[in-house]
Structure 1
Amino acid sequence: MKPQTGTGLANGKIILAGEHAVVYHEPAIALPIDAVYVKADIVSAKEGQTIQCELYTGDVNEMHTSMAGLQFAIREAFKVASTKEVTDHTFTLSIESTIPAERGRGSSAAVSVAVVRAIFDFLDATLPEETLWNIVQGAETISHGNPSGVDTATTSGTRPVFFQKEQELQTLHLNMPAYLVIADSGVTGNTKQAVQHVSTLQERIIDPTTQETGSDAVQSIGAIVNETKAAIEEQDPQKLGQLMSENHERLQQLGVSHDVIDTLVDTAHQNNALGAKVTGGGLGGCMIALVETEEDALHLQEQFMKQGAQAVWIQSLAKKENTK
């Protein structure tokens, strides 16, 4: 008898604009990135419920508490998609991810999205978007406490998301003749430390010349995000690049960039980039650069690797809805 199988895919994500300011009720924009992905495969087994992934191989019921969110997603998906008890299913679930962890790329949400999709496929059940959202948000709540929903929306979708605390997520149409080059600095970021640092600067002067405080910089980033949204809607890569660089300067003022990131940003500007910035929590992690042609993107990828980047990906910004 042929074994029962199921497969699920999910995108990675990056923050295009607004990181850190979003904590203070300013808007931000995130992009799905299919240059990195998670793939989950599930196959029926004679006995047991086994999971195989980079962090853990073993019984689903004995997963470490650090993986409680994923464990919830697995159990909840079976519960919703099947009329049988979760314990009545025997399977092996394999997870493959090219999304680097701890880099602000939506790794945990992407894993949950791929796994839920695989389980519904395995059970030949229809998966409404709302059901996927509810299960993955439940998993993210267990993993992170109070998730914004951005990672869930971007890793499960194909369109950019404009978001602001306590407001409904908006999806944007992106079809721009340009490429994003994403570089992993190789330095593990520290979002928690970066967020705490920014909070200490809110009432402090960070620019003696203008007398600007950290709070002023945060508000300025919010304005940049709104202009970024307009640049996306107008399909204007030149404007988008300029805004990315302005955003980076503000994040530098707030002390959440890193010397390695700044070197990569400088390299981008020296090699035809329209703009470049740190992305995500900062103090390491990843940076992004915008270029107009694939040739420029490939050249910049090579330059980043020469500068010591751990990995570099290229993402087209044209006709995003048509990608996987």
Structure 2
Amino acid sequence: MAVASAPGKVHLIGEHAVVYGEPAIFAAVGMRTFVTAEKSDRVGYKDKRWGHNDSWSLEDVVAATDEVVGLWNACAQKQEFSELFSNIKANSYENYKKAAIGAAMKNLGINGGISISIESQLPAGAGLGSSASLSVAAVNAIAAEYGKSVSKEETNRIAYELEKIIHGTPSGGDNSACCYGGLIWFQKPNTILSLKEEIPYKLENFILVYTNQPEKTTGELVQSVRNLEENLRNHCVHEIGRLAKDMREALKIRDLETMKRTINRNQQILAKLGVSTPEIDEMVSAIKEKGGAAKLCGAGGGGMVLCYHEKKNILLETIRDLGYEPLETDLAVEGVKIENENSNT
């Protein structure tokens, strides 16, 4: 039996634009997904969050993997992934679960069965990278159970393939942040840069707030932005890219006013892209009135909001006055790790 864990992530800046090749800044958050893997003659999937406890034959998993990967390729040709999303959401995401495990095992060169059990501190659909955290931890746990050594680069590559199955065209930033941890500068296709040396201090006075469960999945929200009028989308995307560069420079010199302006402007553009909600807009407005900054996290449509104020007590009071409970967590934490060493390989 092998156990691996990976953190979630937040976008400090760069949501949606990162899909189109603009830079983004990610921070790994101090909430983790734990995956326990154990060899089996079948493929098992247990997730305590949803009460899932499934078991399939190896042949069934291979067939589902081939079907979903083939469907992804067909959707990629059209740049329209609605059919994929409908397929993987059927039967409590059964096709996704089969295909994700099957793709992980295929990429790891494993032909045997595996049973995985999942425990996560991350709410799904909140913009905290719950699926990426799961993908990264699962790849490491499965590899460890079979005595295979995988580098972080290889873990990240395989996790990205799993992310594509559920999200269609993710940027790869979520899985990179969950894999490497810390604070990273990410830009497609392959720029993953640790910002530890240029931003060595601890990021303080950031608070997360969960608003509600998004009605749409990450993939559906990404598709909704893709479906916008091209000139509008491109203008917004390019401005978010410029804001990411401004944020990096502001963080280097601890220019808090520029950082706040950048966060607030990022949120305005995300609202223009149609991925904010009335609840998020209300919270952002209240925090701005108090001299702080706030923006949605991840794909949007609800979920988590990242809030900042130099005076944390003002931030906490404002959030509670709106009827929400603030979530204090560390940023830029350690990436994926093996929690135990399997001695039965």
Match of 2:329, SS state, is: strand
Aligned to 2:192: 169
In the TM superposition, what whole-angstrom CA distance separates every residue of 1:213-272 from its partner, at most 9, and x where no partner exists?
Answer: 554443322211110111233344443222101211222333332110011213333556
Aligned to 2:178: 155
In the TM superposition, what whole-angstrom CA distance separates every residue of 1:38-97 from its partner, at most 9, and x where no partner exists?
Answer: 01123567x7543311342121546721223432255347645xxxx414xxx6531011
When residues 267 and 255 of structure 1 are mapped into structure 2, their CA distance, relative to the original with a 3 A threshold, is same
Q: Is this contact kept in 2: 1:17–1:30, CA < 8 A?
A: yes
Q: Is this contact kept in 1: 2:29–2:330, CA < 8 A?
A: no
Match of 1:161, SS state, is: strand
Aligned to 1:208: none
Matches within 5 A, 1:144-293: 144-173=167-196, 174=199, 175-188=201-214, 190=216, 191=218, 192-193=220-221, 195-196=223-224, 199-203=227-231, 215-271=234-290, 273=292, 275-292=293-310
Quick one: distance in 2 between partners of 1:51 and 1:283? 28
TM-score (norm 1): 0.77
Q: Is this contact kept in 1: 2:128–2:297, CA < 8 A?
A: no
> What is the CA-CA distance between 1:301 and the residue it aligns to?
4.5
When residues 302 and 222 of structure 1 are mapped into structure 2, their CA distance, relative to the original with a 3 A threshold, is same
When residues 158 and 243 of structure 1 are mapped into structure 2, their CA distance, relative to the original with a 3 A threshold, is same
> What is the CA-CA distance between 1:182 and the residue it aligns to?
1.2
Unaligned regions of 5+ residues in structure 1, if any? Answer: 204-212
2:102 is the counterpart of 1:72: yes
Q: Is this contact kept in 2: 1:26–1:165, CA < 8 A?
A: yes
Quick one: distance in 2 between partners of 1:260 and 1:147? 25
TM-score (norm 2): 0.73
2:127 is the counterpart of 1:104: yes
Q: Is this contact kept in 1: 2:210–2:303, CA < 8 A?
A: yes
Please list every run of at least 4 consecutive aligned residues from structure 1 whose deviation after the TM superposition is greater than 4 angstroms: 319-324
The code of the aligned residue for 2:126 comes to R
Aligned to 1:42: 37
Looking at both structures, which has the greater relative contact order when contacts are Cα pairs under 8 Å and sequence separation is at least 6?
2
Alignment coverage as a number of residue pairs: 296
Given candidates 8, 15, 21, the residue that maps to 1:25 is 21
Match of 2:127, SS state, is: coil
Aligned to 1:206: none
Q: Is this contact kept in 2: 1:277–1:288, CA < 8 A?
A: yes
When residues 262 and 302 of structure 1 are mapped into structure 2, their CA distance, relative to the original with a 3 A threshold, is same
2:142 is the counterpart of 1:114: no
When residues 109 and 256 of structure 1 are mapped into structure 2, their CA distance, relative to the original with a 3 A threshold, is closer
Match of 1:200, SS state, is: coil
The percentage of aligned residue pairs carrying the same residue is: 25
Aligned to 2:343: none
Quick one: distance in 1 between partners of 2:225 and 2:170? 20
When residues 160 and 189 of structure 1 are mapped into structure 2, their CA distance, relative to the original with a 3 A threshold, is farther
Q: Is this contact kept in 2: 1:13–1:151, CA < 8 A?
A: yes
Aligned to 1:314: 328
More helix per residue = 2
Quick one: distance in 1 between partners of 2:276 and 2:322? 17
Quick one: distance in 1 between partners of 2:235 and 2:108? 48
2:315 is the counterpart of 1:300: yes
> What is the CA-CA distance between 1:106 and the residue it aligns to?
1.7
Q: Is this contact kept in 2: 1:161–1:170, CA < 8 A?
A: yes
CA RMSD of superposed structures (Å)? 3.2
When residues 320 and 110 of structure 1 are mapped into structure 2, their CA distance, relative to the original with a 3 A threshold, is closer
